[in-house]
Amino acid sequence: MMAIFVAVLALDLVTKYVFDAKLDVGETITVIPKVINFSMVHNFGAAWGMLAGKQVFLIVLTIIFMAIFVWYYIKEKNKTWLLNICFGFILAGCVGNLFDRLFFGYVRDMIQFDFWKSFPVFNFADVALCVGLVLFVVYLIVYYVKAAKNGKKPAKKDDNNEQ
């Protein structure tokens, strides 16, 4: 988990730094015409600019979200490779965007789908969050399906195995 966390967080922060230094806000570089561009955006909200100007709320929400996931990870006995991977992605995504909100007051976004104009410009932290959450859902499905097949309730840390 730690290697994934560090690698994804480094990728996110380095790309944000490079593109923020090289592009003015609103400036675009075409990577693959009609497919993908790099376009510098300072996002003062969440996806699609929702909750713009509510930085304190978004910071608190991110911290609560991270605390819940860390609590779940600590509590979970079944720390499979899949759980470790998804948590590395989720935490790196949260920390990457939290860093921007705390130090800049906005999130630096730069990846833009040229074929889908209404899709928000995003960054690698956003990708990491999406990948991590999808993997977490897959983990939960696999874990609970296995538990159901074995005729057991999923293990909890405070179960005394008195059955």
List the catalytic residues: 109, 126
Listed in sequence order, the DSSP H helices in 23-123 are 55-75, 81-104
How is residue 121 annotated by DSSP? P
How does strand 28-32 pair with strand 107-113? unpaired
Q: How far apart are CA 62 and CA 56, in angstroms?
A: 10
Q: Which of 100, 94, 93, 98 is nearest to 124 (CA)?
A: 93
Query: What strands lie across the sheet with 36-43, from one edge to the other?
Result: 28-32, 36-43, 107-113
